[in-house]
Amino acid sequence: MAFEGLASKLQETLKKLKGKGKLSEKDIKEAMREVKLALLEADVNYKIVKDFVKKVSEKCLGNEVLESLTPGQQVIKIVNEELTDLMGKTESEIKYSSSGLTIIMLVGLQGAGKTTMAGKLALQMRKRNKKPLLVACDIYRPAAIKQLQVVGKSIEVPVFTMGDKVSPVDIAKASIEHAKGNGNNVLIVDTAGRLHIDENLMGELSNIKDSINPDEILLVVDSMTGQDAVNVAESFNNQLDISGVILTKLDGDTRGGAALSIKAITGKPIKFVGIGEKMNEIEVFHPDRMASRILG
Ligand code: GDP
């Protein structure tokens, strides 16, 4: 299960505090040392861990906690609040355009789960009576267009493609006209990924962005890649000024580093998570629920 190691370590540390009547400064410092180690082992960015522990320590060493009758509970409450804060406080939904056509561009490295996520988002929107259109802009990976068509068929959402001989910018532009002509009110543009970030990829994504002016640019990242996911998010954000992040594969045994670091590093919220390969395995990301899940 995701976050297992982190959750069990934090819960163990905090349980020890709860068992004590009064807490001394030494108890709290010792606990904070353990919290720090647990976060580092979960692959959370070092600077974020340092800031987090500093903030939590300052709050825990305040008189309200030391003099409280239930100091252990207070510490847990503070850790919960700060974890929630770290992941973005509240959930962030899709920003729909008031113009009648909402354009969502999905970007990310190959294998992150873009195509799958395009389908999941489309299905969710179709269930809410929107009329999504999936757009196949990955013309490089031989099976990519077919994969999107299979996804579209399985969820009864149309797919716009012009094959692999037309440039992604032209496909994206043409899809807007197609959507307008066919009563679609959400475009979900699936773009190409590479195994690593490279200039060609970024250049192409920038060109697509400039030509269709998306309401949302959502970066899809594989939560299993930990610190790498954070580096990827930072590069994509620097190049494209993304509007949010989608974390996939949270059903795996990710240690949690990506989920806990991305908001702090990029300033951009995690909007959805993928929790399986099936089309309905998507959830809105709730920072408070995630924090509570980690703390048990
Ligand atoms: P793309 O290259 O970014 O378009 O990635 P794909 O959508 O093709 O996904 C790559 C692989 O990850 C596929 O085998 C998907 O079934 C799988 N996948 C995508 N999202 C999830 C998820 O949330 N959980 C799990 N377990 N697998 C996922």
Residue 173: its pLDDT value, please?
Answer: 98
> Both tokens of residue 285?
């990301």
Strand 270-274 and strand 282-284: the pairing is antiparallel
- Find all residues with CB under 8 Å of 27, minimum gap 6, and list them: 17, 20
Count CB atoms within 10 A of the CB of residue 276: 15
Closest CA to 131 of 162, 96, 92, 105: 96
Mean pLDDT, residues 17-43 taken together: 92
Tell which atom from ligand 1 comes closest to the C-alpha of 276.
24
Whole-number Å distance between alpha carbons of 59 and 19? 20
Mean pLDDT, the chain, integer: 95
Q: Is 287 within 8 Å of 89 (Cβ atoms)?
A: yes
Tell which atom from ligand 1 comes closest to the C-alpha of 141.
2
- φ/ψ of 255, rounded to 5, equals -80, -20
Residue 200: its pLDDT value, please?
Answer: 92
Element (DSSP H or E) covering residue 208 = helix 199-212
- Of the listed ranges 32-36, 92-96, 188-192, the least confidently predicted one is 92-96
pLDDT beyond 80 at 1: no
Tell me the whole-structure pTM to 2 decimals. Answer: 0.95
Q: What spacing in Å lies between the alpha carbon of 63 and ligand 1's midpoint? A: 49
Torsion, Cα of 89, 243, 245, 285 (10° steps): 40
- Find all residues with CB under 8 Å of 181, minimum gap 6, and list them: none
Q: Is 273 within 8 Å of 285 (Cβ atoms)?
A: yes
In this prediction, residue 214 has a pLDDT band, given cuts at 50, 70 and 90, of very high
Count CB atoms within 10 A of the CB of residue 20: 11
Q: What spacing in Å lies between the alpha carbon of 132 and ligand 1's midpoint? A: 20
Whole-number Å distance between alpha carbons of 244 and 237? 9
Which protein residue's CA is at the shortest distance from atom 5 of ligand 1? 113
pLDDT in tens, 108-140: 999 999 999 999 999 999 999 999 999 999 999
Residue 159: its pLDDT value, please?
Answer: 98
Which protein residue's CA is at the shortest distance from atom 27 of ligand 1? 277
The residue to mutate among 116, 120, 146, 273, having the most atoms of ligand 1 within 8 angstroms of its beta carbon, is: 116
Closest CA to 15 of 89, 72, 79: 72
Computed on alpha carbons and rounded to an integer, the radius of gyration of the chain in Å comes to: 21
Ligand 1 neighbour 115 (Cβ under 6 A): yes
Comparing 220 with 198, which gets the higher pLDDT? 220
Residue 269: its pLDDT value, please?
Answer: 96
Mean pLDDT, residues 8-20 taken together: 91
Residue 142: its pLDDT value, please?
Answer: 82
Around 148, how many Cα atoms within 13 Å sit in the side-chain half-sphere?
29
Element (DSSP H or E) covering residue 168 = helix 168-182
% of the chain beyond a pLDDT of 90: 86
Mean pLDDT, residues 154-170 taken together: 97
pLDDT in tens, 164-181: 999 999 999 999 999 999
Ligand 1 neighbour 119 (Cβ under 6 A): no
